Structure 1
Amino acid sequence: MSGRSRWSLRLRLVGTLTILVLVATGVLAVVAWALFAVASALGLTGSSAEAGTPLPLAGGTVVLAACLLLLVHGRYGYRRTLESVDARPVEDGDPHGLRERVRRFALAAGVEEPSVAVADTDEPTTFTVSNGTDATVVVTTGALETLSADELEAVLAHEVAHLANRDATVATVAATIGSISEGLFARERRLGEWIRFLLTIGSVTIVLALVAIPIVVLSAFYLLVSVLARTVLAINAISVGFHARAREYAADRAGAELVGDPAALASALQTLDGAGPPNEDARRRSHASATLGIVPYALGERTDADLLEESSLSRWIPDADSELDRAEFVAVLSRLFGRIGRALEWRPATHPPVEKRIERLRNMSRERVRTVETG
């Protein structure tokens, strides 16, 4: 990677960290404000609270807490990502020579040798996860079965290139920070279930007076959590998008230089892109394994605790293909609601188009051939 490209990537990574700190600061500030508002409403704050806390001190405390949150989250997110895909470390018995190949590329790139793990799943992909001190290259059994020897070699070089470019740690934090919005979406679903339950029992007139206040309070929290979850998701999308394309292009180029064969990496990308799930749900692509992967395939099954679960808010939106389409004016509203529902389930793109990556690598291969011929 050229010096200009290297500095461009590093500036993008710094920008990503800045955005993440702002996201964490905003989340903590909103949570602190909500807790203080509830405590004040219940009369739990003492007279000393009336004087208030100096704004600079309060702001500095929240920013420091946000930085600590990201630090802890980076350490925790590393382990959580590996556990979420059930990645098993490669120790004895390495028929594909993964450890030896990674060791060789790490030595050539001048970086500390990462661990290597295999995830037993059909999705053909690889990714590198790092917490700043430890790093692991994960390869799926689907990738081992799909890629040729030369393609596997090129893919491993691509993963080591992420470490050489020093983007793996920032990308890991950016990918796993989505768990904040993931947790908020899970709480949104629970609040939605409680609201529906109260509305159901409130349909009995005599009970309505008893549940009216809880419904109002839960609805207020529901809206707060929904807005906060989507705000975090949107800002995190900006942070991921700010560096994602640059980091993948940089790793493609550096990986091709490490393996010495850009065409092999181009072939690997084409193979992986064609062998993956034909209808991968966009919501699944926000999973850490998809965000970090050489191609955006999420590993593992959907669970109720995942961000990948359909948002409870979208359940309140009528489907655009419902029977309401019979009347023209209702059809317009139905299409509008359908668009809103799809917008609520929007997830950011985490990778540049595979076609563009392949074209860049093929151009790089042609340049190498011309250099050899003219040299």
Structure 2
Amino acid sequence: MILRLRIYAVLGVFVAVNALFVFVLLWAYGVLLPAVVGGTVTFLQHGEVGISLLQSPVSPGLYLALVAAFLVAQLSYGYRRVLSGTTGSAGDTDHGVARIVRRLAMTADVPSPDVCVVGDERASCYTVGRLTDATIVVTTGLIDRLDAAELEAVLAHEIAHVANRDVTLMTIATLFLEVADRAYHATQLVRRALSDPDELSTRGRMALLWFLPLVALTYVFVSPLLWAFPAVADRTTRTLSHTREFAADAAAARITGHPMALATALLSLADASPSPGTDLRTAKTRALCVVPSDLVAGDETDAIPTIDRPDDEPARRERVSAWLTGATPSNPTDTDAIETHPPLEHRLERLREIAAEQELGETP
């Protein structure tokens, strides 16, 4: 319940930041710049200035409509970007992975998502889709690497994301981070032209050629208004991403009743995944995966590896404890991975706590 409330709180902050971003742009170009230009002309002609900045650039109704359109546009464009990350499509529903997903969905009381098994040796699992449907993408490399209990735990983690509409939340959140970053970058055109003119794009040179006064005014007056938005958006997005991962881990532990299976699965996937080389703004889709990794691109396969492997709970506990004992400051978690996901040691600690709570609940 606390995690869910935190998600709602962060989401509320995110919507408020979006609304403020739209208002700042409208006010800057609808009130501030016209007032500066008009006030300057009036001062030169009459020697006096009459500027009124305390006014709304548009009516409240139009403003709310523009904020809603801004959010819808992000969602629509973001979906197209995310859905283009995989080329597989859900087909055969009789294989073992699909049966596990259907059983887990029934346990969680959510509509069963489609399942797409992609023939790829990389170990990856993530969910794509829209509000009304979802597809869990699993690679044959993941099935090969995990035992039956671990695979079930990872799929339960994805079922939790489906239940919480996390794909929708993170699609909007990560795209706004890019919008805010690019908007601020665009206001810095004059500075970039002065510091490194050879690196300007053709579009940037055309803007300087045809709209130099507007570009200069934007740099002087609008840029200071936008500089904080990328940092705020980044912090909000990371907080939302971390919280949803903790919530999905807890839900998977509750659905399967085997939190340590998810813990060892995370260890296996972290070992198998190459360290991301970029942060959230340039690798947004990594936030959709169970651990930070790139989305796979490949065709669906009917050659499903066997998933009937033994479960060894004591060995899981020993492996997690040994890893946590060795996770010292001299061997820190990759900082780029932390951008999209909580530190692995924090996820493992929480899963170990959940396992202890479950044991206490079972003790007569």
- Normalising to structure 1: TM-score of the pair? 0.65
Greater displacement, 288-297 / 111-120: 111-120
Aligned to 1:357: 347
| Equivalences, count | 307
Aligned to 1:19: 13
Greater displacement, 248-257 / 54-63: 54-63
Per chain length, whose mean CA-contact separation is higher, i.e. which structure has more relative contact order (CA < 8 Å, sep 6+)? 2
In 1, Cα distance between equivalents of 2:182 and 2:120: 25
Greater displacement, 292-301 / 268-277: 292-301
Aligned to 1:146: 145
**Contact 1:122 / 1:140 at 8 angstroms: preserved in 2?**
yes
Question: Structure 1 residues 98 and 236, CA, compared in 2 at 3 Å: closer, same or farther?
Answer: farther
Q: Which residue, 227, 233, 236 being the options, matches 1:236? A: 233
Q: Which residue, 292, 305, 310 being the options, matches 2:288? A: 292
Question: Structure 1 residues 71 and 275, CA, compared in 2 at 3 Å: closer, same or farther?
Answer: same
> Once the 2 structures are TM-superposed, how far is the Cα of residue 82 of structure 1 from its aligned partner?
1.9
Q: Alignment partner of 1:55: what SS?
A: coil
> Once the 2 structures are TM-superposed, how far is the Cα of residue 155 of structure 1 from its aligned partner?
0.4
Aligned to 1:136: 135
**Contact 1:87 / 1:117 at 8 angstroms: preserved in 2?**
no
Question: Structure 1 residues 228 and 255, CA, compared in 2 at 3 Å: closer, same or farther?
Answer: farther
Aligned to 1:247: 244
Aligned to 2:56: 55
Aligned to 1:322: none
In 2, Cα distance between equivalents of 1:72 and 1:274: 37
Instruction: Please tell me the residue identity of whatever aligns with 1:275.
Output: A
**Contact 1:286 / 1:348 at 8 angstroms: preserved in 2?**
no
> Once the 2 structures are TM-superposed, how far is the Cα of residue 156 of structure 1 from its aligned partner?
0.6
Q: Which residue, 262, 267, 270 being the options, matches 2:264? A: 267
State the Cα RMSD in Å.
Answer: 4.2
Question: What residue ranges of structure 1 are gaps of 5+ in the alignment?
Answer: 1-5, 44-49, 202-210, 302-345
Aligned to 2:3: 9
Instruction: Please tell me the residue identity of whatever aligns with 1:289.
Output: T
- Normalising to structure 2: TM-score of the pair? 0.67
> Once the 2 structures are TM-superposed, how far is the Cα of residue 354 of structure 1 from its aligned partner?
1.1
> Once the 2 structures are TM-superposed, how far is the Cα of residue 165 of structure 1 from its aligned partner?
3.9
**Contact 1:288 / 1:298 at 8 angstroms: preserved in 2?**
no
> Once the 2 structures are TM-superposed, how far is the Cα of residue 140 of structure 1 from its aligned partner?
4.4
In 2, Cα distance between equivalents of 1:32 and 1:188: 15
**Contact 2:150 / 2:262 at 8 angstroms: preserved in 1?**
yes
**Contact 1:125 / 1:143 at 8 angstroms: preserved in 2?**
yes
Q: Alignment partner of 1:139: what SS?
A: strand
**Contact 1:114 / 1:136 at 8 angstroms: preserved in 2?**
yes
> Once the 2 structures are TM-superposed, how far is the Cα of residue 216 of structure 1 from its aligned partner?
7.5
> Once the 2 structures are TM-superposed, how far is the Cα of residue 39 of structure 1 from its aligned partner?
6.8
Instruction: Please tell me the residue identity of whatever aligns with 1:20.
Output: F
Aligned to 2:329: none
Question: Structure 1 residues 193 and 233, CA, compared in 2 at 3 Å: closer, same or farther?
Answer: closer
> Once the 2 structures are TM-superposed, how far is the Cα of residue 249 of structure 1 from its aligned partner?
1.9
> Once the 2 structures are TM-superposed, how far is the Cα of residue 212 of structure 1 from its aligned partner?
10
In 1, Cα distance between equivalents of 2:123 and 2:269: 6
In 1, Cα distance between equivalents of 2:287 and 2:115: 19
After TM superposition, the structure 1 = structure 2 runs for residues 1-375 of structure 1, keeping only pairs within 5 Å, are 6=1, 8-36=2-30, 55=56, 58-83=59-84, 85-92=85-92, 97-117=96-116, 124-140=123-139, 142-181=141-180, 183-184=182-183, 187=186, 218=215, 221=218, 231-278=228-275, 280-284=276-280, 287-299=283-295, 349-369=339-359, 371-372=361-362, 374-375=363-364
